[in-house]
Amino acid sequence: MTAPVNGAARGRAPEGYDKYAFEPFAVTVDLAVLTLRAGALHVLLVERGHEPYAGRWALPGGFVLPHESAEEAARRELAEETGLSDVSGLRLEQLRTYSQPDRDPRMRVVSVAFAALLPDAPEPHGGGDAAQAQWLRYNALGPLAFDHDRILADAHDRIGAKLEYSCIATAFCPPEFTLGELRQVYETVWGTALDPPNFRRKVLATPGFVEPVPGAARLTGGRGKPAALYRAGTADTLHPPLLRPSTSVSPASPPSSPSPTTSASTPSPEGRPA
């Protein structure tokens, strides 16, 4: 609730809040910025320079400023960390909020986590921040700082689930892409191989998922037969969904996240929804 009807009497009472006390927390955002590079899932990480977890990799992020929402803070941090110019059009999905009291040994920090999907992978030029940001392969990550292993695993779960029933896969692709590239998004995130003809049939049968580029343009870059180019459509949901094959365990192993630091929540499918 927003109104402090309950008298949880601690801390100072701020101005205009005479009868009700509260405990001030620091509120931050954490970003799981994902992209596909050379057919592998990559994550944007920064190397920590201070204790705790000095030298460890961590998700980029920062404090929510007094005048901005968590979404605005996430977008600002995304621009700062990646050095991108037009983060305005990027899809930013709120994952969940991590609030374990001991997740930061220094003080009480509540963090709102977001996931962002980038089409290509421009090398991040540290936009003024301390440690340099860098793309690292999702599969080859040591333990991250804080509870960032779990945040990243949650992000991966959520994105994998949303691929099933939404059209966000195009967010990983450049403005014009082939169906093979789109299929590779699914294959990389899910860690499974998909049948190209069946995938094609499904995508083209879903109105608004993709639309062909008018000029009969074809990409003749790599090996094999040149593929037709498509653009992202206007639809954002996938009815019926494109379910991942149930008979396989994902070979793309998530980073080590042994301790469930937060409780009482289902991972995602939600994605299936959710």
Partner DNA sequence: TGACTATTGGTCATGTTGACTATAAAGAGT
Partner DNA sequence: ACTCTTTATAGTCAACATGACCAATAGTCA
In the range 166-205, which residues lie near DNA by CB under 7 A?
178-181, 183, 195-198, 200-202, 205
Choosing among its own copies, DNA, none, which partner's interface includes residue 201 (Cβ < 5 to 8 Å by kind)? DNA
Interaction residues for its own copies, span 169-198 (CB under 8 A): none
* Contact assessment for residue 204 and residue 152, using Cβ atoms and an 8 Å cutoff: no
Stretch that binds DNA, among 65-73, 84-92, 118-126, 222-230 (CB under 7 A): 222-230
Planar angle of CA 205, 207, 209, nearest 5 degrees: 95
* Contact assessment for residue 60 and residue 33, using Cβ atoms and an 8 Å cutoff: yes
The helix-helix angle for 196-205 and 179-190 (nearest 10°) equals 110
- Pick from 36, 104, 141, 191 the residue near its own copies by CB under 8 A: 104
**Residue 68 touching its own copies (CB under 8 A):** yes
**Residue 147 touching its own copies (CB under 8 A):** yes
Amino acid making up residue 160: G
Calculate the CA 96 to chain-centre distance: 11
| Comparison of 97 and 192: residue with beta carbon closer to DNA | 192
- Pick from 37, 40, 72, 194 the residue near its own copies by CB under 8 A: 72
Q: In a 10 Å sphere around its CB, with 0-12 CB exposed, 13-18 middle and 19+ buried, how is residue 142 labelled?
A: exposed
**Residue 17 touching its own copies (CB under 8 A):** yes
Closest CA to 212 of 197, 200, 224, 229: 229
Q: Which two tokens stand for residue 123?
A: 């090398």
The helix-helix angle for 179-190 and 148-165 (nearest 10°) equals 140
**Residue 127 touching DNA (CB under 7 A):** no
Cα(47)–Cα(197) distance, integer angstroms: 42
Stretch that binds its own copies, among 6-14, 175-183, 204-212, 221-229 (CB under 8 A): 6-14
Q: Which two tokens stand for residue 140?
A: 């080859």
- Pick from 2, 89, 223, 263 the residue near DNA by CB under 7 A: 223
| Comparison of 196 and 260: residue with beta carbon closer to its own copies | 260
Residue 178: other Cβ atoms inside 10 A: 19
- Pick from 37, 40, 58, 199 the residue near its own copies by CB under 8 A: 58
Residues that bind DNA (CB under 7 A): 178-181, 183, 195-198, 200-202, 205, 218, 220, 222-228, 240-243, 245, 247
